[in-house]
């Protein structure tokens, strides 16, 4: 059975047209490879057409063979064109996506800053460190011994009532002051000592403009041979000058179980005398409780409230503001 050349011509034309349309419809480079295999592969339609050439008249064969070649080349050239176009489109899409417009306004991230309480602590600590002190810390949960007994508070001494204590069910307490750290440090170290002790303290206080149940103190302690009240006064003057400048200061006699003599320090600030810390010469009983010989060593100590100091320095009318995280307030620092 013979095959009409017209029939093969029509088949080849149909293949060319179909491939052309399929290629034009591609949207991605991966599709092109599938079409190449489909139309130009060994199992593609062209070899199939050529397979039936044997049934043609010998005279028609060269013409059909050359037409098959033309179709193949046409598909190859369409394929190549499409590949170039798709590659260009892909590159453009990538460029569009990655374009960096340096004239665009930047994204604004508000800058964080140190909380005024921490900034206050840092300043105090820095000043003491500048005078040769090192930082020491102790636990917030304490025993009666470290918070009171070793600091010369006698069991029934009314001084215990000065500081309304938060007792825990197990008999421990939340420390009422950082003075407990003095004892822990002296127990573990020998004189000479120069330490500054920041930390959180707790009291059963009714919260108001000048009291919070949780607050921060900074304590300092110096123990050496021959330290006198003059050294305490000089240290206080240096410290306060660095913090407030040259302002008048005065010391008033006071009482603390762990110091003798004891004093309260006031400074004149914005026309008023303001009390800012307690201090004194370390009581010989305290030195004895940590095994130091009070005949050899003397020392001085002091403690201040960080909230109170910040309130004085920045004229904050209500220390609760330091705890309410109101950005309008905090942003002023």
List contacts with ligand DAH (CB under 6 A).
177, 179, 219, 256, 259, 278-280, 301-303
When the beta carbons of 23 and 306 are compared against ligand DAH, the nearer one is 306
Q: Output the smallest distance, CB 237 to ligand DAH, in A.
A: 16
Residue (18 or 149) nearer to ligand DAH, CB: 149
Which lies closer to ligand DAH via its Cβ, residue 39 or residue 300?
A: 300
Cβ closest to ligand DAH, residue 39 vs residue 215: 215
Quick one: 78 or 142, whose CB is closer to ligand DAH?
142
- The answer to whether 166 and 215 are in contact (CB under 8 A) is no
- Give the list of residues 6+ apart from residue 82 with CB closer than 8 angstroms, or none: 23, 24, 26, 32
Give Rg (Cα) of the chain.
45
Phi, psi dihedrals of residue 283, rounded to the nearest 5°: -65, 135
What's the N-to-C CA distance of the chain in angstroms?
102
CB of residue 246 to ligand DAH, shortest distance in Å: 24
Tell me the closest approach of the beta carbon of residue 297 to ligand DAH, in angstroms: 16
d(CA 280, CA 11): 112
Closest CA to 188 of 332, 74, 292, 105: 292
Select 68 or 195, whichever has its Cβ closest to ligand DAH: 195
Phi, psi torsion values for 222, nearest 5 degrees: -130, 130
Helices (H) and strands (E) in the chain, counts: 11, 10
- To the nearest whole angstrom, how small is the minimum distance from the Cβ of residue 217 to ligand DAH? 6
- Write down the least CB distance from residue 278 to ligand DAH, Å: 3
331/333 Cα distance (integer angstroms): 5
Question: Rounded to an integer, what distance in angstroms lies between the CA atom of residue 100 and that of residue 22?
Answer: 36
Strands 214-224 and 298-305: antiparallel
The structure tokens 């003798």 sit at 260
Q: DSSP assignment, residue 155?
A: T
Q: Closest approach of Cβ 219 to ligand DAH, in Å? A: 5
Instruction: Name the residue nearer to ligand DAH (CB basis): 239 or 256.
Output: 256
Report the nearest approach of ligand DAH to the CB of residue 104 (Å): 55
Nearest to 46 by CA among 11, 1, 21: 11
Q: Which is nearer to ligand DAH, 11 or 179 (CB)?
A: 179
Nearest to 44 by CA among 89, 78, 86, 12: 12
By beta-carbon proximity to ligand DAH, the closer residue of 9 and 231 is 231
CB of 114 to ligand DAH, least distance (A): 25
Closest CA to 74 of 143, 156, 145, 13: 13
How many CB atoms are located within 10 Å of the residue 108 CB?
A: 6
Q: For residue 13, what are the contacts with CB-CB under 8 A and spacing of at least 6?
A: 71
At its nearest, how many Å lie between ligand DAH and the CB of residue 308?
Answer: 10
């Amino acid at each position: 059975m013979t095959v009409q050349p017209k029939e093969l011509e029509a088949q080849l034309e149909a293949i060319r047209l179909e491939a052309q349309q399929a290629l034009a419809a591609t949207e991605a480079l991966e599709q092109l490879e599938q079409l190449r295999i489909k139309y130009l592969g060994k199992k593609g339609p062209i070899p199939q057409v050529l397979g039936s050439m044997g049934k043609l008249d010998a005279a028609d064969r060269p013409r059909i063979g050359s037409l098959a070649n033309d179709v193949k080349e046409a598909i190859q050239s369409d394929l190549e064109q499409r590949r170039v176009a798709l590659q260009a489109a892909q590159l453009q899409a990538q460029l569009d996506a990655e374009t960096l417009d340096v004239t665009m306004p930047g994204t604004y991230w508000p800058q964080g800053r140190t909380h005024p309480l921490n900034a206050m602590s840092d300043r105090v600590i820095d000043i003491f460190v500048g005078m040769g002190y090192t930082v020491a810390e102790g636990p917030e949960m304490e025993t009666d011994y470290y918070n009171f007994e070793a600091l010369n508070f006698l069991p029934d001494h009314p001084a215990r009532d000065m500081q309304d204590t938060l007792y825990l069910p197990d008999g421990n307490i939340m420390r009422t002051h950082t003075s407990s750290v003095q004892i822990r440090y002296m127990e573990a170290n020998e004189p000479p000592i120069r330490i500054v002790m920041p930390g959180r303290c707790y009291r059963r206080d009714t919260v108001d403009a000048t009291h919070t149940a949780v607050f921060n103190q900074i304590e300092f302690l110096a123990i050496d041979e021959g330290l006198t009240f003059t050294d305490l006064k000089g240290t206080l003057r240096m410290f306060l000058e660095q913090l407030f400048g040259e302002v008048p200061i005065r010391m008033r006699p006071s009482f603390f179980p762990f110091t003798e003599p004891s004093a309260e320090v006031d400074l004149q600030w914005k026309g008023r005398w303001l009390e800012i810390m307690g201090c004194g010469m370390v009581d010989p009983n305290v030195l004895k409780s940590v095994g130091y010989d009070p005949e050899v060593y003397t020392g001085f100590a002091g403690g201040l409230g960080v909230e109170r100091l910040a309130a004085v320095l920045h004229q904050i009318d209500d220390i609760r503001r330091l705890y309410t995280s109101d950005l309008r307030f905090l942003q002023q620092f």
